[in-house]
Each structure stands twice: as C-alpha cells, then as structure tokens.
Structure 1
C-alpha cells in the first residue's frame, strides 16, 4: 500500500531497478538511485493483477483503462490529510460518537484581551 496516494489503481515497474512501486515517491524512499524516466511504461492493474504496457508519447483517452478488466486507472490522486470525521449514524441525534483528534493549542495573550483591558489601557 502506498502512503502517498491512497487510491492508486496500478503499480508501475521502474525501468532502472525492475521493481514495482505505486508512485515515484515510494521509489525515492526505498532506493538509493534516481528514478530513470522512460516513455514505455509497464503497469500492473491492482484489480485484475495483470500487467500491460503503455507508451506515454501516444497516450489517448482510451489508454486510461486497463486493457484486461477496463479498470479506470487514470484518476485524480487522493493524498492523505488530517480530517475531523463523524463515526456513527447522525451526530445531531447522538454526539457521543464524535471523534476529535486535534490538539488544543495554548491560549495566546494579546493586548486586545477584554479581561486584561483595565490593566493595559491605563
């Protein structure tokens, strides 16, 4: 599983070391050499587990699908990011199911604090 792209539909075989990676960042983290660029790319579909080749110079709209199972693998990448989510049916009915992983920051003191206004304004 790729930690950089959550919805990776294919694995890509790197031409330099002949290993399979989900993205270029995964190759960069695990290998000690730069990724070699090549126009003919070898993919492995994660849905049907079959391999196929595509030429990047002649990439058309019909080439966005796996030739074996028609899985659409050219989609917008979803990268991981922190989010506040509701775990349960409806939070308006039962708010005990809310989960908040944020950390409360320390309150900063400013000159515009109403509670300390009599001490600061003279």
Structure 2
C-alpha cells in the first residue's frame, strides 16, 4: 500500500530493477538507484490483479486508455495524497452558496426527530393518565 498516493489503482513495474512499485516516490525510498524512464509501461491492476502494458509513444491518448483492459477499472485518477486527505476544501465563493452550507444528506432528519419527541411526550402523558386511573399508581411514578 502506497503512503504517497492513497488511491493508487495500479502498480508499476520499474524497468531498471524489474520490481513493482505503487509510485515513483516508493521506488526512490526503497532503491539505491534512479528510476529508469521508459515509453512502455508494465502495469498491474489492483482490482483484478492482471498485468497489462501501455505504450506512451502512440501519440494522443483518449479516455478509453485510462481503463484496465481486463476489468475496466478506471486507473487514471487525480491522486489523493495524505496532505489532500487532511485538508478541508470549500469550493464555493466565501461559503455563501446555500447548497454548500446546507446538509443535503438527510432531508427528513429534523422532521423525524420532532415527530419522535412528540410521540414520546404523548406516550408519557398517556402513561401518567393511565397510572392516575389505575390501582397500580405507585408503579409509574
């Protein structure tokens, strides 16, 4: 597991030492030589565990080249680093947009909480009324 890129989807085989690494920083930390540059990359998908190659000399790359040829796992993603994970990002201007401030995960949460409180109050009143009318008065006090 890579500590530099938290969402790594493939492992890359280094052409210089023929070992597998999640990112160039992992190679630099564990090896005493520089990473050899190559136009042909050997990748291993972390989802299906199958190996495939891509050639970077083939001119323009389209969106279809960003997926594993075996399982269609999207492996070209924006890297999430530990620094990204630790920071809070607000992409609205000055936080004034109501959609950025309002919690849209559960629209009915406040209404359900209010109904639960009303039900609890009703039951409490009902139990007290029943206790006042019964012979078991001491049980509910």
TM-score by length of 1: 0.66
Q: Which has the higher helix share?
A: 2
Give a deviation string over 1:10-57, Cα, whole Å, max 9, x none.
Answer: 000000000000000000000000000000000000000000000012
Distance 1:16 1:10 in 2: 18
Whichever of the two has the greater Rg, that structure is 2
Distance 1:75 1:56 in 2: 17
Distance 2:70 2:79 in 1: 22
Structure-2 residue corresponding to 1:49: 49
1:71 equivalenced with 2:78 (yes/no): no
Q: CA deviation at 1:83?
A: 4.6
Distance 2:81 2:54 in 1: 24
User: CA RMSD for the aligned pairs?
Assistant: 1.2
Q: In structure 2, the residue corresponding to 1:6 is in which secondary structure? A: coil
CA distance 1:60–1:83, change in 2 (3 Å): closer
TM-score by length of 2: 0.57
Q: In structure 2, the residue corresponding to 1:33 is in which secondary structure? A: coil
How many residues align? The count is 84
Distance 1:75 1:26 in 2: 18
Runs of 5+ consecutive residues of structure 2 not aligned to the other structure: 89-141
Distance 2:62 2:18 in 1: 26
Runs of 5+ consecutive residues of structure 1 not aligned to the other structure: 85-122
Structure-2 residue corresponding to 1:23: 23
